[in-house]
Amino acid sequence: MLIINELRPPKDVRLDIAQRLKDVRLSYNWTQETLSKRSGVPLATLRRFEQSGEISMKWFVNLMLALRRGKDLDALCHVEEHVDLYAKEPVKRYRARTKK
């Protein structure tokens, strides 16, 4: 299993993710054409993604859902809740503070 960490160049991370999705596609025994039709992602976009790791967020989400990986999207950037029984309830942030 490949492990993604912040010490690797972004290009390597993108290529690893593309390879993982390709492996999932192959585990279903789907061709690129099949996945393209099921996801709505243009075939050229899918080919470019599997070769270079380049894809828009819109197409990436479509691929993940077509490959039945919605739970993986839920886990992406999940903010864990910290429980401190003595702390005041934090105010939920809706935008960043302005710079002073």
* Residue 70 host element (H or E): helix 70-75
In a domain, 86, yes or no: no
Domain that holds residue 45: 10-74
Average pLDDT, the chain: 88
Evaluate whether residue 93 is within a structural domain.
Answer: no
pLDDT tens across 4-44, in order? Answer: 667 888 899 999 999 999 999 999 999 999 999 999 999 99
pTM: 0.73
Whether residue 33 lies inside any domain: the answer is yes
Lowest mean pLDDT among 26-30, 54-58, 90-94: 90-94
Q: What is the mean pLDDT of residues 76-84?
A: 75
53 domain-assigned: yes
Q: Does residue 5 fall inside a structural domain?
A: no
Whether residue 94 is contained in a domain is answered as no
- Minimum mean pLDDT among 8-12, 55-59, 62-66, 90-94: which range? 90-94
Q: Is residue 29 part of a domain?
A: yes
Burial of 36 (0-12, 13-18, 19+ CB in 10 A): buried
Count of domains forming the chain: 1
> Residues 54, 59, 63, 68: what is their CA dihedral angle, to the nearest 10 degrees?
130
Confidence of residue 1 (pLDDT cuts 50, 70, 90): very low
**Residue 92 counted as domain residue:** no
Q: What is the pLDDT of residue 77?
A: 77
